[in-house]
Structure 1
Amino acid sequence: MLRTQFEEDLLNLHNQFYEMGMSVSSAVHKSVHSYIEHDKHLAKEVIEQDIKINEMEVNLEKKSFEMIALQQPVTTDLRTIITIMKASSDLERMGDHAVSIAKSTIRLKGLPRILEVEKVISEMSDYVKKMVDNVLIAYVKTDAKDAKMIAKMDDRVNDYFKQVYDMTTSEMKQQPETIISGTDYLNVASYLERIGDYVTNICEWIVYLATGKITELNSNRNETF
């Protein structure tokens, strides 16, 4: 009987984590869409939605601690709970970055825009959202191979960031009136770049869930310990 209750609790934890991930994916997409389209209504929606994302993380953490304390799970079950706790913390931070992008939208006041840069930021956000969606599927499948492939996608996010940085700084030098909006572009691109980093963190937790090994998937440090 106890075991069945535990399995039910674990399934609920899984489902809540996945639901949180989908909410974060939606927040990332909406925040950039609101920024590019100057849609302040949508930006406010992202900020309001973040309260729910934060609550989800608190609930997941509380339930995880409860299950560890009361059920004393071992091996795979314990790894699953630890993965959900750690990865939900990464999701929560991704949600915070989506809020920062939404706040940039609200700050925008008809400043001169650099449409070529906005096009790259839009592509970058589509790519980052794809990473977020893919990592949730890899989590559901406990697929270490997919997780490693998704972590490699982060190199492309860094390339996008460099492209935005180069285009924006060049334009700011030539057109000083774009300095304020240009600074905002750099901020938005850096938030997206950080979201990519958090996806890589989740990939590492998926590899841990599948193999029991903590593996560094950052392309600069490929060591396993």
Structure 2
Amino acid sequence: MRNAPAGYRHFHDELALLKQRLLDMSERAESLVALSVEALLERDRDKAIAVIEADEELDRLEVEAENQAIAMLALQQPMARDLRFLIGAIKVSSDLERVGDHAVNIAQCAVRLVDQRVAVPAVPALADMARRARAMLSDSLDAFIRGDGALGRAVGKADDDVDAQHEGIFRALLADMMGDPQSIAPSLELLLVSRNLERVADLATNIGEDAVYLAEGKQIRHRFDEDAPTPSSSDST
């Protein structure tokens, strides 16, 4: 790119900066989900409060990423793949901010469980569900940044396992509540945690879909089992 026009170099410098911002957002969102689940499992109120207070940083990163993408759309008027990336980046930044909101919801559940001082049913599947959701989020960002349609599709398929775990947790906690009325309040909190983790996986799936759109120029929402056509060579620049 040594002989590229200055405007072209500037655009790709800005593009690299935007990609890094999205990666920073993803890393922060993943860490907040991890910390919120740690707070829940360890009944650690301080960790839960740290998650709640850190959400403002993710909100700020979303605004910065969105503003940059909009400015690049307005000033550079990109075409084809670059245009798809910028449109996708706006959606991805919003999804990552929402991941932070779900981490806050989990942290708030942890705070309430600590304050209630009641016995909490053991749900070992929650830790694995959180691990799977975080892995999906990491993979989906990698897929979007690299324009890897195959990895984006794999994220969508992995969502089925998280949905199945959520259903299993629901059935287990329902049985606990039917057997012991005193477990109803804490069980409802754990159901809310499971639901929030399931939503994190859904948001990762959204980002995976955006990665496929970036790579192939095709919207595939709710159709991960379909084979996408190969884009024309004129649309790959």
TM-score (norm 2): 0.90
Give the deviation of 1:107 after TM superposition: 1.1
Give the deviation of 1:222 after TM superposition: 5.8
Relative distance call for 1:223 and 1:191 in structure 2 (3 A) is farther
The residue that corresponds to 1:213 in the other structure is: 218
Do structure 1's residue 12 and structure 2's residue 9 form an aligned pair?
A: no
Of 27, 31, 36 in structure 2, the residue corresponding to residue 26 of structure 1 is 31
- The separation in 2 between residues aligned to 1:65 and 1:37, in whole angstroms, is 42
- The separation in 2 between residues aligned to 1:213 and 1:140, in whole angstroms, is 17
The residue that corresponds to 1:158 in the other structure is: 163
* Residues 200 and 217, structure 1, Cα contact 8 Å, conserved in 2: no
Give the deviation of 1:41 after TM superposition: 0.8
Q: Deviations over 1:110-135 (max 9, x none)?
A: 112111x2x11111111111111222
- The separation in 1 between residues aligned to 2:196 and 2:67, in whole angstroms, is 28
Give the deviation of 1:136 after TM superposition: 2.0
- The separation in 2 between residues aligned to 1:164 and 1:107, in whole angstroms, is 20
Matching residue's letter, 2:43: H
* Residues 69 and 90, structure 2, Cα contact 8 Å, conserved in 1: yes
Q: Deviations over 1:53-90 (max 9, x none)?
A: 01000111111111111111111111111111111111
Larger of the two Rg values belongs to structure = 2
Do structure 1's residue 112 and structure 2's residue 119 form an aligned pair?
A: yes
Stretch deviating more after TM superposition (132-141 or 97-106): 132-141
The residue that corresponds to 1:184 in the other structure is: 189
Of 52, 56, 59 in structure 1, the residue corresponding to residue 61 of structure 2 is 56
1:192-203 pair list within 5 angstroms: 192-203=197-208
Give the deviation of 1:51 after TM superposition: 0.4
Relative distance call for 1:191 and 1:218 in structure 2 (3 A) is farther
Give the deviation of 1:209 after TM superposition: 0.6
1:92-103 pair list within 5 angstroms: 92-103=97-108
Residue ranges of structure 1 left out of the alignment (5+ in a row): none
Which ranges of 4 or more aligned residues in structure 1 deviate by more than 6 Å?
none
Task: Report how many residues are paired.
Answer: 222
Do structure 1's residue 174 and structure 2's residue 175 form an aligned pair?
A: no
* Residues 141 and 208, structure 2, Cα contact 8 Å, conserved in 1: no
* Residues 136 and 205, structure 2, Cα contact 8 Å, conserved in 1: no
- The separation in 2 between residues aligned to 1:223 and 1:216, in whole angstroms, is 13
